Structure 1
């Protein structure tokens, strides 16, 4: 695999950083909302000192990058460095957006800022990019505390920053709004990275498993897998059908099973992600 960055990755990184800057300068910083990350630290320091967020951000990011450079691969290091540069430039360019005063509602600002920032991070994470910050802190801390995962360490750092936002502003509500924004950021970025769940798994236990299997193949054009099972109480062997379908096929499959064997036992499970033939490519 080539280590050089692709053109589309650079564009996505630029767009993601611009969205981040808009979220911070237009929605979050005007209300001192600090939803974790190094940007949250920058907002807190900006509240205390009045120093520009872009200057604070790069002042922390560059030393962190230098410390983590040996840990990152060549491609990841390039993406991280570009992410730091793009984010710093975007924060500077959008610096005056806070003067627009889009809304005075702090809750609406935390929600809007969280959505925009979540989209931005989702785009950046999709290309395995980074803008520095708590992910680098997590990587570095993981070397000292290998028993704790990087996401756990990042979550701990973000939680501390959210709490600190309330202490600095001397208003517990600011910390609560920051927590709301952080929650939205995590959820939205997950959706952008992983996509909205569109698949469902059926585990079907029936004596008429062959008839059900043929109906699935003929009517839904889906494959199915036969698993071997055994009843705990009776000790008798059971054949279990495992099939994955899209959301729009759930009702059809329920009706199909009911029509073939009304006494079948069905377990229906939402799937986080389905990859392979008939679904998303791996």
Structure 2
């Protein structure tokens, strides 16, 4: 019973998710990005540049995993002085496992899409983004630009994401110098695809719609939504800042395949109503999905 509880616990789930995510990211780097000289930003991108430059100029093979471990160790030392031991403990597992798996997978992973760099950038970015999305979903990270962004954002008037983008841009510029502008541009493609995939994993696909309806006939529209669509609606009163007029306002969340039905109801009851529609990545509650874990 104790073992079963431990295996089902949140920490075990998180570490399992992190391990899967790191394995996917390491494989994507070894299969698509590193052998094709695509430096997709961050510590891994810098290590890729050093790896190929050392081979071509000096005939020396410098392990990607060891490089990443050394770079992240330096960053961790700075982070430890700035943020304390608690922050280090959460990051160390991801850094060590990523460094180990990159070298382990490199020994038997066959380079893919070597004759089509665009495919390599797209698939490398997508698979590594999927992996990093799982890592972030588990509350972990693998060091690198994450640490740089979090540290510098405390001292500079910029957000973590902005700083990470600048660091990735610097690595891309270095890749352009080392490998030429064409390969650097493929690196940019991989960065953007990876970023979009991470967002997709963390936020999900927008399958629901949030609707704000401002109308003098808000009560009738709300009743029709309830009766014809079997959906609830939240009613409130809105005041126009310029005119000072008070009008009814409804807030409704529906699935995207119900959107045309809602528009038809509003059009029939009040064609002059203001309707604002936005994407919803996740809806929890009655009529949608449960809270879950």
Same fold, judged at TM 0.5 (above): yes
Alignment of 1:164 with 2:174, yes or no, is yes
Q: Match of 1:106? A: 117
Q: Match of 1:192? A: 201
Please give the residue correspondences for 1:38-53 in structure 2 after superposition, counting only pairs within 5 Å: 38-49=43-54, 50-53=61-64
Aligned length: 276
Q: Match of 2:191? A: 182
Distance in 2 (alpha carbons) for counterparts of 1:107 and 1:257: 46
CA displacement 1:185-239 (0-9 Å, x = unmatched): 0000100011111221222233322121112223333332223234577653211
Q: Match of 2:12? A: 7
Q: 1:62 to 1:213 in 2, by over 3 A?
A: same
Normalised by the length of structure 2, the TM-score is 0.86
More off after superposition, 265-274 vs 211-220: 265-274
Distance in 2 (alpha carbons) for counterparts of 1:265 and 1:69: 53
Q: Which residue, 81, 102, 105 being the options, matches 2:92? A: 81
CA displacement 1:90-134 (0-9 Å, x = unmatched): 111111356444441111100110000110110001012111101
What's the RMSD between the two structures over aligned residues? 2.3
Q: Which residue, 37, 41, 44 being the options, matches 2:42? A: 37
Distance in 2 (alpha carbons) for counterparts of 1:149 and 1:262: 43
Q: 1:97 to 1:183 in 2, by over 3 A?
A: farther
Q: Match of 2:228? A: 219
Distance in 1 (alpha carbons) for counterparts of 2:110 and 2:279: 45
User: In the alignment, is the contact (CA less than 8 A) between 1:5 and 1:79 conserved in 2?
Assistant: no
User: In the alignment, is the contact (CA less than 8 A) between 2:39 and 2:45 conserved in 1?
Assistant: yes
**Structure 1 residue runs without a partner (length 5+):** none
Q: 1:151 to 1:39 in 2, by over 3 A?
A: same
User: In the alignment, is the contact (CA less than 8 A) between 2:219 and 2:248 conserved in 1?
Assistant: no
Alignment of 1:122 with 2:127, yes or no, is no
Q: 1:187 to 1:97 in 2, by over 3 A?
A: farther
User: In the alignment, is the contact (CA less than 8 A) between 1:35 and 1:158 conserved in 2?
Assistant: yes
Normalised by the length of structure 1, the TM-score is 0.89
Q: 1:204 to 1:143 in 2, by over 3 A?
A: closer
More off after superposition, 113-122 vs 4-13: 4-13
CA displacement 1:158-191 (0-9 Å, x = unmatched): 111111111111x111111000000000000100
Please give the residue correspondences for 1:191-210 in structure 2 after superposition, counting only pairs within 5 Å: 191-210=200-219
Alignment of 1:19 with 2:24, yes or no, is yes
